[in-house]
């Protein structure tokens, strides 16, 4: 079986109020499902690696073939739990180690 190539994304949350990990993840899934449907969402291989509600940062993992679609979905987020918000991709990398090196 062919190995699935993945990319790790470091995200910066821009929100009026603090958002919890659950709210963040629900928002991302909702954005992907709205734009690409459940079939598209199932192909993204999205997983939350790390979430820091104090620094408002998140690390997610996605499948390389769906990277562009996930970025589009992240860009389409305008609200988290009814409050104005934006998600910005800070860095993308092939490994968690190099991603953490890039953002530090």
Partner 1 sequence: MKRKFADLHLCLNPKDPNSTPRIMAKAAALGYDLIAVPLNPDIPEAEISKFKSICNDAGADFSSRVDLTPKTRKQLMFQLRKLRRKFEVICVQCENKEVARQAAKDRRVDLLSFPFLDFRDRFFDWAEAELASNSLAALEVDTKPLLLLDGSKRIRLLSTLRREISIAREFHVPVVVSSGVAKEMLLRKPREVAAFASLLGFDEASALNTVSTIPSNIALRNREKLSCGFVAPGIRVVKEGADC
User: Counting contacts by CB under 8 A, is residue 78 touching partner 1?
Assistant: yes
User: Counting contacts by CB under 8 A, is residue 102 touching partner 1?
Assistant: no
Candidate segments 1-9, 38-46, 54-62, 63-71, binder of partner 1 by CB under 8 A = 63-71
Task: Give yes or no for a contact between 80 and 15, defined as CB atoms under 8 angstroms apart.
Answer: yes
Contact characters 18-57, partner 1, x per CB under 8 A: ----------------xx----------------------
The beta-carbon contacts of 80-84 under 8 Å, at least 24 apart in sequence, are: 80/13, 80/15, 80/19, 80/23, 80/24, 80/27, 81/19, 81/23, 81/27, 83/15, 83/16, 83/17, 83/19, 84/15, 84/16
Which residue from 75, 81, 93, 100 is in contact with partner 1, where contact means CB under 8 A?
A: 75
Binding residues for partner 1, rule: CB under 8 A, are 14, 34-35, 68-69, 71-72, 74-76, 78, 84-86, 88-89
């Amino acid at each position: 079986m062919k190995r699935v190539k993945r990319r790790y994304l470091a995200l910066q949350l821009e929100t009026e109020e603090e958002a919890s990990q659950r709210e963040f993840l629900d928002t991302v899934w909702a954005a992907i499902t709205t734009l690409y449907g459940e079939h598209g969402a199932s192909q993204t291989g999205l997983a939350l690696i790390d979430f820091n509600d104090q620094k408002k940062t998140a690390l997610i993992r996605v499948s390389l073939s769906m990277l562009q679609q996930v970025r589009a979905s992240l860009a389409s987020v305008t609200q988290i739990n009814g409050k104005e918000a934006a998600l910005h991709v800070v860095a993308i990398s092939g490994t968690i180690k190099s991603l953490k090196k890039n953002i530090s």
